[in-house]
Amino acid sequence: MYTLELNLKHSPLPIVVQKQELDVAQADYTRLTDALKSGNAVLLELTCDQIPGKSVTVLTSEVAAVQIYEKSGTTSASGKPPGFFALMGEQTAE
């Protein structure tokens, strides 16, 4: 299972959509990054393979970050999945 995670501006909670196929997850990731690069506010609809009937439409101008990763049984020491914020908490001061 592949997870597509979107972090929105002014929102502490990410939007998570899961896909069974890597190529489908990569296609959604590419659509999002292309829309972000264009600078135009576009509505994109995403559906989830894990939960049938789950779909979300996002305004791309409100997306702060997007990441894709493979969902596995392992997590970091903090119990969080890999990601931008999980890595920030694991840094140590020198």
List the domain boundaries for the chain.
2-89
> Given pLDDT bands bounded at 50, 70 and 90, which one contains residue 87?
very low
HSE-CB at 52 with a 13 A cutoff on CA atoms is: 0
The answer to whether 69 and 85 are in contact (CB under 8 A) is no
What span, in angstroms and rounded, lies between the C-alpha atoms of 31 and 89? 30
pLDDT of 82 strictly over 70: no
The predicted-structure confidence for 31-62, as pLDDT tens digits, reads as follows: 999 988 988 888 999 999 988 888 999 999 99
